[in-house]
Amino acid sequence: MGSPLERLYALAPVWAQNLGVSLYGVAWRHERLGGRFREYVHAFRERETWEAERFQHYLGTELRKFLQNAFLEVPYYRRAWSAAGFTAENLAKLTVADLGRLPITTKAALRAQPEEFVSRSVAGQRLHRYHSSGTTGTPITAICTADGHRRFTAAREARSFGWAGTSLRKPRSMIGGRMILPRGCSGPPFHRYNWAEKQVYFSAYHISPATAPHYVSALNQHRPSVFTGYAYSHYLLAKMMLAQDLRLDYEPDALVLSSEQLTLEMKSVLRQAFQARAFEEYGCVENCVLATECEHGRLHVSPDFGILEIVDAHGQSVPTGVEGRILCTSLLNEAQPLIRYEIGDLGIWSAEDCPCGRKHLPVLEQVVGRLEDLVKGPDGRQLVRFHGIFVNIPTVVEGQVIQETLDRFCVKLVVTSGFGDREDQIIRHRFEERLGKVHVTIQLVQEIPRTERGKFRAVISHLQGNSK
């Protein structure tokens, strides 16, 4: 299981693991913060101050460039749009308001043929591939260039972190989905340190009442200025801190959290525990949408990152206050342009103007989706985003995890013909890595039942009082 480097990492002592993480951090820092990164940050900040008319003109110009590139250089769009009667000439005349005329791009299409979405204009460049199960348990592959990655990061620096009064260049912490503790390791420390970026990375898989003091001790040792990562994992830790009277001995700048919606109750608990305000960030591994919380607590979409539509069952825009399907059109990823891409979430536009004055950055009243319960382990650890066990298993089309008891799970899978014993063992191995010894039943099914909104839940818990 795993690459040779992963096996070597697992055998190394903690100090060597920290060194390995830091060496990786050197390359990662250049990947995200090198090149024209500062220029891109400045541009995003400047566009915040533009008048609406100038901003809309910019969006229209960028959109037409992306549409033409997609039609001329991307195999998938060449076929799909030609079949729908579009030509390069009429695409060159489309405006943002005309987006609804184009076909919707489904997640199933991207998942089935990710390379068919890659533009021939980036041929010869080094491309980066990122695998994710997505918020609904549907694995996909996202592809970008290094410069594209810098543009994504610059937008987050200017909007997500800038609006929170901090910077991703400052010392930071992360609670995320990487398996930083080797298999079988259940003792502290539950973090590893990246000296290159002054980042302390915590395991999301070991948070429990018994381990919470170790998490707080590491935060006090490394004193990150900004906390990032899974919103619900931070909330779980915060509740345990308050219950045990565990405290930080300093005040960080802010928490910039993603992956789950931040409720008012969650924000209150986070502020009490971490002595700082939590800001919500909404995005995806496909890097086709970014929405960030401003100082007035409103979630603003950044159309200069990606144009967001909220549509009905027929793909047409819904009025403000009405729930609809979210479609995203990327404006930053020339390597894998996604146009009218159905991300799998539902959303509602706000009918109220935000007091912050950024009227050209529209406000989401709510993002509906990410329907996921909490998973609890036999030893008390609590996990979210558990559907990551399906990442990078191409033969899994959809997967659902059902927790029946503390140590018994049922996994329902929709698979292709290539699924076999190897994939079965990978999934069982990942359960053991994250939860220890548990009993897993794997069922191959034709389909996974949807909710009344047409989505299926990636994780369902039958433990009493466990639903979010």
Q: Write out the DSSP string of 414-466.
A: EE-TT--HHHHHHHHHHHHHHHSS-EEEEEE-S-----TTS---SEEE-STT-
Q: Is the pLDDT of residue 467 over 90?
A: no
Of 94 and 457, the structure prediction assigns the larger pLDDT to 94
Domain of 398, CATH number, reads 3.30.300.30
Q: Which of 9-23, 48-62, 234-248, 426-440 has the lowest mean pLDDT?
A: 9-23
pLDDT at 371: 46
Q: Are residues 121 and 265 in the same domain?
A: no
Q: What is the mean pLDDT of the chain?
A: 88
pLDDT at 355: 94
pLDDT at 208: 87
How many domains is the chain built from?
A: 3
Mean of pLDDT values over 356-385: 81
Q: Is the pLDDT of residue 177 over 70?
A: yes
Which of 341, 368, 395 delimits the end of a domain? 368
Q: Are residues 349 and 386 in the same domain?
A: no
Mean of pLDDT values over 362-379: 79
Model confidence over 381-423: pLDDT tens digits? Answer: 877 767 668 877 888 877 889 999 999 999 999 888 889 999 9
pLDDT at 128: 86
Give the other-Cβ count within 10 Å of 179's Cβ: 17
Model confidence over 110-169: pLDDT tens digits? Answer: 988 888 999 999 988 888 888 765 555 566 788 999 999 999 999 999 999 999 999 999
β-strand pairing of 324-330 with 306-311: antiparallel
Q: Are residues 391 and 425 in the same domain?
A: yes
pLDDT at 16: 85
Amino acid at 302: S
Q: Are residues 25 and 48 in the same domain?
A: no
User: Percent of the chain at pLDDT above 90?
Assistant: 57
Q: Are residues 423 and 383 in the same domain?
A: yes
Q: Are residues 105 and 133 in the same domain?
A: yes
Residue 468 placed within a domain: no
Q: Are residues 70 and 107 in the same domain?
A: yes
Kindly report the pTM of this predicted structure.
0.83
Residue 61 placed within a domain: yes
Residue 467 placed within a domain: no
Which of 226, 258, 276 delimits the end of a domain? 276
Q: Are residues 219 and 309 in the same domain?
A: no
User: In 3D, which of 414, 401, 397 has the Cα closest to residue 111?
Assistant: 397
From edge to edge, which strands make up the β-sheet containing 199-203? 191-194, 199-203, 172-176, 226-230, 254-258, 278-283, 290-293, 299-301, 363-368, 341-349, 324-330, 306-311
Q: Which of 39-43, 240-244, 307-311 has the lowest mean pLDDT?
A: 240-244
Q: Is the pLDDT of residue 376 over 60?
A: yes
Domain limits at 415?
A: 375-461
β-strand pairing of 363-368 with 341-349: antiparallel
pLDDT at 22: 85
Domain of 127, CATH number, reads 3.40.50.12780
- Please give the structure tokens belonging to residue 357: 């004055």
